[in-house]
Chains A and B, each alone.
Chain A
Amino acid sequence: MSTGSPAALAEKVWQRHVVRSGEGEPDLLYIDLHLVHEVTSPQAFDGLRLAGRQVRRPDLTVATMDHNVPTTALDQPLSDPVSARQMEVLAANCAEFGIRLFAMGDADQGIVHIIGPELGLTQPGMTVVCGDSHTSTHGAFGALAFGIGTSEVEHVLATQTLPQTRPKMMAVNVEGELPAGVTAKDMVLAVIGRIGTGGGIGHVIEYRGSAVRALSVEGRMTVCNMSIEAGARAGMVAPDDATFAYLEGRRHAARGAQWERALDDWRSLATDEGAHWDKEVTIDAASLVPHVTWGTNPGQVVRLDASVPSPDSFSSPAAREAAHRALSYMGLTAGTPMKQVKIDTVFIGSCTNSRIEDLRAAATVLEGKKVAPGLRALVVPGSGRVKAQAEKEGLDKVFVGAGFEWRNPGCSMCLAMNPDKLSPGERCASTSNRNFEGRQGRGGRTHLVSPAVAAATAVSGHLASPEDLS
């Protein structure tokens, strides 16, 4: 990456954050924003205390409670004392080290990857880390954003830097126009289906092409969010006028002359013509359709109008074996049309799909309709702000009128650390990001879908697209 040679967006952001590089060593990268939540931080703060260290930059650190929070009554004591303790520990750590915390009940509280962008904390060209793999979400702004473990959380708290080896560069080009009814979620599920759960390992993916440019900033967040499900270290989209318009006027965005300087800088970030890609994939947007997962990892995905695949259709023995195991766990038979799969629960939420546009998309489908008899449906807005905006628009009334439960913000049934869980054998259409065994509750069966498909499925009782309802 010598000066002057064409560079990719990720390389440019990387280069401007190198504090130090040494032969045979990882680069020491400066971190512009560190997001903290209750699950992956307590041991890191303990480590600081043991070593007598301080948080170097509390002003570049922000904390929220999201993974454990109940989404029902916020004014009641937590029913789970272990979760309560974890949140108390986060509050105490933030108070001790001077970190701004958006605690349960705060108007700005929400899922860590929802509140960073909506408060204007996530900006182009930054490095953003969090002890959470879906930190890749923030790449939608042209930030280099990646998930880290608790030892690295402690490292960033103490030094505001991280030693990191240089990633490889991968381009995913989605060219053309998405057909009506095909969403950002379908795009990223199709990408993961194409490259597999390990296809992005060691790489930063840059999503490029006219179909990506045409996505809203929120849609780009959905795409970047699931980069980790393809194994990628991060996912990014080059910032453009849509990005700038999203950011302008947000609480932590610069103003006046500083805003103009920022814009000038951000416009220089886009990948140079002729930049080198270690891997490149091109997808025709016009060929995309709604997708749904059938198995137990996000790479086990098909078109919604397809059938459950036969394990014999996979070429490698490992993929065949994985498919057999997945079908057995999911209680599915090869050859069954996906649209005949009966669903018990619909979950609309998570850092993938709980922003206002997601709720609008689902509400549009639900307007004047009712959830299928016996089906449980819940919608969990990503943040207090998303919830307030949805209520201002009357979306809550649409959801409740259709038979959905309207909840408070949190990670909720995406990972079932709070009381929102599936029971063994219960089948869920979910707008979240992982269909791993047990992810939404022990023995629970997850089908990943877009908010529009989730809403249509809730009405139909079987996996369905909005078109199927008419």
Chain B
Amino acid sequence: MKPIRVITGRAAPLDRSDVDTDQIIPASWLKRVERTGFGQGLFSEWRDDRDFVLNRPEYAGATVLVAGPNFGTGSSREHAVWALTDYGFQAVISPRFGDIFRNNSTKAGLVPVQVSPEVGRALLDAVTTDPSLEITVDIERLRIEAPAAGIEADFPLDAFTQHRLLEGLDDIGLTLRFDGEIDAYEAGRPAWLPSLTGAV
């Protein structure tokens, strides 16, 4: 994962609540065995509508997606995150995220920016009124700013995830430093626990 410090860019408003991951990337796209190329499938069923926000030229090139509450609920498919990043989004702003989507985002370099419902509403309105509005997401200061609209707010991110994003660290590499602790834990596991030993 590449380090991410500050994201500055224009934003696209997706003024809907409960955007589940089936909408972000429909199941028909999940048959691919690669990790790339999912951008074409992003919101693919909604993109048939000519007025859908991603079809509007004034939002072309947006790097921040501003959505309603309960974004990324439902299926665990990380393909939803891959679709957003492959399309060009680097951050998603919402008052509330599905837990698995939120987890997947930080593993794949997409920043989930959780704001209050009021800030979320204000940002949706501001971006709808002014498609050229620039939004800055500062991972170091955990702050989001849209100076031209007079909006600024802090957002939560645990210190570990923040550090991982800032340094671009590989989660697995971090865990493998604790190989000894994992060995020690395994030595104490009860014998009744199920195992597929010799089952192949």
Q: Which A residues are within 8 Å of any B CB, using their own CB? A: 19-20, 24-26, 28, 30, 32-33, 39-40, 42-43, 46, 51, 53, 56, 58-62, 67-68, 80, 82-83, 85-86, 89, 94, 98-100, 120-121, 123, 126, 131-133, 135, 146-152, 154-155, 158-161, 163, 165, 197-198, 201-202, 228-229, 231, 233, 252-254, 258-259, 261-262, 265, 297, 299, 318-319, 321-322, 325, 415-417, 434, 436-439, 442
- Across the A-B interface, give the 10 residue pairs with the lowest CB-CB distance, nearest first: A149-B104, A149-B78, A151-B107, A254-B192, A42-B33, A147-B76, A252-B194, A262-B192, A133-B76, A100-B199
Cβ–Cβ contact B196 & A59, under 8 A: yes
Cβ–Cβ contact A28 & B17, under 8 A: no
Query: Which size bracket describes the interface of B in this complex?
Result: 35 or more
Given A61-B196, A259-B192, A318-B68, A24:B96 Cβ within 8 A: no
Cβ–Cβ contact B158 & A26, under 8 A: yes
Cβ–Cβ contact A62 & B196, under 8 A: yes
Distance in Å: Cβ of B140 to nearest Cβ of chain A? 16
Cβ–Cβ contact B171 & A155, under 8 A: yes
Cβ–Cβ contact B172 & A197, under 8 A: no
Contacts of B18 in A (CB 8 A): 197-198, 297, 299, 322
Distance in Å: Cβ of B111 to nearest Cβ of chain A? 15
A436 to B22, CA, bound (A): 7
Q: B136 an interface residue at 8 Å Cβ cutoff?
A: no
A85 to B30, CA, bound (A): 12
Cβ–Cβ contact A228 & B74, under 8 A: yes
Cβ–Cβ contact B78 & A197, under 8 A: no
What are 14 inter-chain pairs, A to B, with CB distance below 8 A?
A39-B30, A42-B33, A53-B172, A67-B30, A94-B200, A148-B103, A149-B81, A152-B104, A161-B175, A163-B171, A233-B99, A252-B194, A259-B192, A438-B26
Distance in Å: Cβ of A160 to nearest Cβ of chain B? 7
Choose among B31, B108, B172 the residue that contacts A86 (Cβ–Cβ < 8 A). B31
Q: B118 an interface residue at 8 Å Cβ cutoff?
A: no
Cβ–Cβ contact A131 & B76, under 8 A: yes
Given A62-B196, A151-B104, A318-B69, A201:B98 Cβ within 8 A: yes
Residues facing A in B58-85 (CB within 8 A) are 68-70, 73-79, 81
Cβ–Cβ contact A438 & B45, under 8 A: yes
Cβ–Cβ contact A261 & B192, under 8 A: yes
Cβ–Cβ contact B33 & A43, under 8 A: yes
Given A19-B185, A86-B33, A40:B77 Cβ within 8 A: yes
Which secondary structure dominates where chain B touches chain A?
Answer: loop
Cβ–Cβ contact B192 & A155, under 8 A: no
Cβ–Cβ contact A161 & B182, under 8 A: yes
Cβ–Cβ contact B16 & A325, under 8 A: yes
A254 to B190, CA, bound (A): 11
Distance in Å: Cβ of B153 to nearest Cβ of chain A? 19
- What mask results when residues 128 to 150 of chain B are scored 1 for a CB within 8 Å of chain A, else 0? 00000000000000000000000
Contacts of B73 in A (CB 8 A): 197-198, 231, 297
Contacts of B23 in A (CB 8 A): 436-438
Cβ–Cβ contact A437 & B194, under 8 A: no
For A43, the closest partner residue in chain B by CB is: B35
Given A99-B200, A228-B74, A319-B17, output 10 extra A-B contacts at Cβ < 8 Å: A19-B178, A60-B196, A62-B196, A149-B108, A151-B104, A159-B175, A254-B191, A299-B18, A415-B75, A416-B28
